[in-house]
Structure 1
Amino acid sequence: MVNCWCFSGGGSTENQIHEITDYGDRDAVLYPQLETVGFGSGLEGFGSVCSLPGTKGLNQDSALLHPGFGIGGEASLCGVFDGHGENGHLVSKIVRNELPAILSGNMNTWPEKQWKEICHDTFSTMDKRILKRKKTLDCSSSGTTAVLALRRGEELMIANLGDSRAVMVMAGTNENEDARALQLTNDLKPSVPSEAERIRKSNGRVLALEAEPNVHRVWLPFKDYPGLAMSRALGDFVLKNYGVIQFPEVFTHRITSDDRFLVLASDGVWDVLSNEEVATVVVAAESEKVAANAVAKAAAEAWKMKFPAAKVDDISAVCLSLNQKQSTSM
């Protein structure tokens, strides 16, 4: 089953989410705001979004693609949210549903507040909203990553929390050269020295288990728990006093004539495909309406080839077309 999401329309983000749901009846009863109707996977001349469930259980990824975002509908918003832990599938959907409205409200402070401050305020508010649900939703060791991109004119602004990634797909330097890829974000994992230093200064532990020596995780000071594989996240409140933070890294990029697509994807893509391989898939896609589907399917095939005995991770991608006029309506 392919799960795809898209926001449509301008102005307020409330009641504008279209989704093919994939959670159980219990979750729909507890969180009826998550129930929405199905929609397609792409908009011609704009982009596409796709999420494939892995083989670990419920698909914990969520994604959005929102033309006509913000006051006046002058911006475009897209994002990928990779949940983890027992309730990660719910956290990622709640963030996907609520974070755009929070961001839209905070955008009213622009340009008095810079992009970094706006993002920090937005993510902090989102984290507090998740915590307020603690009586009905335990997020002590459940949470989500988030990579979010806002296009406004020729300015591209990105916020990244965790180990999802944003990559720019650019044209080759000549007609005979393959598309180029430029990674716009850092993978924020405990193995990054600056991230590990912050965690250790807060008395958290960073170490890899013998069974997976290449995967560094965050642990409590005196307990081998919970073993979080990223250094920043929304939720995961048991580690918030031990160096795991909810504040994203932020970046800006001015779109050039060489820029073709912005790709946002969860680590289910990047664990098996390089930036350059993803760029090749995107430019070879039949259209921008199916580019995200092409990336997701290529990643699924790569999992089968590279890790035939392993459980496949959830795979999500958003492809935003940058070289065509933005659309603000369906």
Structure 2
Amino acid sequence: MGCGSSLGIQSKVADKNHAGDDRAQQLDNSPLTADEIRSRIVCSDKPVKSQLTPSLSIEYAFVTQRGYYPDAVDKPNQDSYTIIPNFAGDPTKIFFGIFDGHGATGDLCSVFARKEVPDRLQKLMGKANASVPFTEIYSNCFTDTNAKLHTSRIDDSLSGTTAITCFMDGNIIHIANVGDSRAVIAKTDAARIVASPLSVDQTPYRTNWATAVNEEVDEDGDPPRVWSPTGNFPGTAFTRSIGDEIAESLGVFATPEIASLQLTSNDRYVIIASDGVFEFLTNQAVVDIVKTYDNPLEACEKVVAESYRLWLHYELRTDDITIICIYLEHAVVPETAESTQRLASQQANDLLTTNILNTRVTEQRPVRRGMSKQKRRDQMKKDMAKMVTDEDLNY
């Protein structure tokens, strides 16, 4: 079962009315029955609406599905999520987060970060004075969580978690990213709805990070990893993480990259998800699915179902898959001189942020399109068995 916490949004284990069941039954290559798939899914009971400002209301939902590992069928879901409306007692603020654990204690690391990051953010916001930039406060809550994890009872020497969080303060969003989970915004552009990145995966695919991680990067494998030159430790497929104490000696830190944008009437959806979604789906492919649904819960269900299908097409296993969809609804309100000036200032910052993200997106972790070696072997065995059966029938 996925680990999550939310205040004001009810969750449930998927029931027989879950929208993904029919699709699950149609998958000939699924190793799980519809009931088994359903038991692995935790989702919103229903979408939740929230009015953040007079001009902006949101509707949101989540779905998480525990991964399938043939050699460890009971492996826990290492993805955690949190949704905290009325953040710090302010109805204009809401916090969303997804934490994707890895390693032997990855589930414990992600649950730890899920609680500590927003708790620390709330405490730091309460202590800060007006001269401290919010981005500094936001960043510190991740590095503080990382330090606290190191001194906790959880062994994070070879385990840790990614983090993708979206903090909405009225119509301004702040995205903080550590690792290879992802945030995307969908915008109306003429007659199209176009995906734009709100984060860029922190992986060795980004060439500018080879130096940052002491150049101990192996580019021969899939994916490229950061390796220790002195020990037989597993390589990390990301260049930032909460936890992973040993990897810190290679430059794998918990400092997040932060992007801040003011939402406009052209913005339609904000999506955050673990790499279980983006392993085989592009940002635009996810948005193309989401835009076909008026209900964010149905959109989440469809994205998770498609991700599950693609995992089984290319692999013998599936990763944990978690997504939060936030639908944006804009209303027209009269502008004041103060709001116009504030918007112009924020738009200048938005343009800079957007340009940086669009420049870096060329180094985004590419979508996989090839079968794993194990999947190819398994497919060859099935093809050979079918050939033998066909020959017997013909004989």
* TM-score normalised by the chain length of structure 1: 0.81
1:196 aligns with 210
Is 1:84 aligned with 2:114? Answer: no
Q: 1:295 to 1:39 in 2, by over 3 A?
A: closer
Within 5 Å, which residues of 2 pair with 1:135-154? 136-154=153-171
The secondary structure found in structure 2 opposite 1:241 is: helix
Q: Distance in 2 between matches of 1:269 and 1:145?
A: 14
The secondary structure found in structure 2 opposite 1:319 is: strand
- Alignment equivalent of 1:219, drawn from 203, 224, 227: 227
- Alignment equivalent of 1:101, drawn from 115, 119, 122: 119
Q: Distance in 2 between matches of 1:43 and 1:165?
A: 22
Q: Distance in 2 between matches of 1:41 and 1:223?
A: 48
Structure 1 residue runs of 4+, over 3 Å off? Answer: 3-6, 17-21
1:116 aligns with 135
Is 1:264 aligned with 2:272? Answer: yes
Q: 1:160 to 1:245 in 2, by over 3 A?
A: same
Q: Distance in 2 between matches of 1:257 and 1:157?
A: 17
- Point out where structure 2 has 5 or more consecutive residues left out of the alignment: 14-41, 50-57, 70-74, 332-395
Query: Shift in Å at residue 41 of structure 1?
Result: 5.6
1:42 aligns with 47
Query: Shift in Å at residue 6 of structure 1?
Result: 4.9
Q: 1:156 to 1:215 in 2, by over 3 A?
A: same
Q: Distance in 1 between matches of 2:119 and 2:10?
A: 15
2:317 aligns with 311
2:360 aligns with none
Query: Shift in Å at residue 224 of structure 1?
Result: 3.3
Q: For residue 188 of structure 2, what is the amino acid of its counterpart?
A: A
- Give a deviation string over 1:53-108, Cα, whole Å, max 9, x none: 11133211111222211242320111111100000011111111221111111123
2:217 aligns with 206
Q: Distance in 2 between matches of 1:246 and 1:127?
A: 6
Task: Indicate conservation of the 8 Å contact 2:44/2:297, yes or no.
Answer: no
The secondary structure found in structure 2 opposite 1:228 is: coil
- Alignment equivalent of 2:68, drawn from 52, 55, 60: 55
Is 1:165 aligned with 2:182? Answer: yes
Query: Shift in Å at residue 165 of structure 1?
Result: 0.7
Is 1:155 aligned with 2:179? Answer: no
Q: For residue 180 of structure 1, what is the amino acid of its counterpart?
A: V
Q: For residue 148 of structure 2, what is the amino acid of its counterpart?
A: R
Q: Distance in 1 between matches of 2:119 and 2:295?
A: 30
Q: Distance in 2 between matches of 1:130 and 1:40?
A: 32
Query: Shift in Å at residue 132 of structure 1?
Result: 1.5
Task: Indicate conservation of the 8 Å contact 1:170/1:258, yes or no.
Answer: yes
Q: For residue 53 of structure 1, what is the amino acid of its counterpart?
A: R
2:7 aligns with 8
- Point out where structure 1 has 5 or more consecutive residues left out of the alignment: 10-16, 22-36, 326-330
Q: Distance in 2 between matches of 1:4 and 1:321?
A: 23
Deviates more, 1:185-194 or 1:260-269: 185-194
Deviates more, 1:261-270 or 1:52-61: 52-61
Is 1:246 aligned with 2:260? Answer: no
Query: Shift in Å at residue 234 of structure 1?
Result: 0.3
The secondary structure found in structure 2 opposite 1:225 is: coil
Query: Shift in Å at residue 111 of structure 1?
Result: 3.7
* TM-score normalised by the chain length of structure 2: 0.68
Q: For residue 320 of structure 2, what is the amino acid of its counterpart?
A: D
Richer in helix (by share):
2
Q: 1:110 to 1:302 in 2, by over 3 A?
A: farther
Q: Distance in 2 between matches of 1:276 and 1:111?
A: 38
Query: Shift in Å at residue 172 of structure 1?
Result: 4.3
Aligned residues: 289
Query: Shift in Å at residue 39 of structure 1?
Result: 6.4
RMSD: 2.4
Q: Distance in 2 between matches of 1:253 and 1:165?
A: 16
Query: Shift in Å at residue 324 of structure 1?
Result: 5.3
Q: Distance in 2 between matches of 1:85 and 1:186?
A: 22
Q: 1:114 to 1:75 in 2, by over 3 A?
A: same
- Alignment equivalent of 1:182, drawn from 196, 201, 208: 196
1:64 aligns with 82
1:24 aligns with none
Q: Distance in 1 between matches of 2:131 and 2:11?
A: 35
Q: Distance in 1 between matches of 2:141 and 2:302?
A: 32
- Give a deviation string over 1:288-325, Cα, whole Å, max 9, x none: 233322221221122233x1x43211111111122258
Query: Shift in Å at residue 139 of structure 1?
Result: 0.6
The secondary structure found in structure 1 opposite 2:234 is: strand
1:321 aligns with 327
Bigger-Rg structure (1/2)? 2
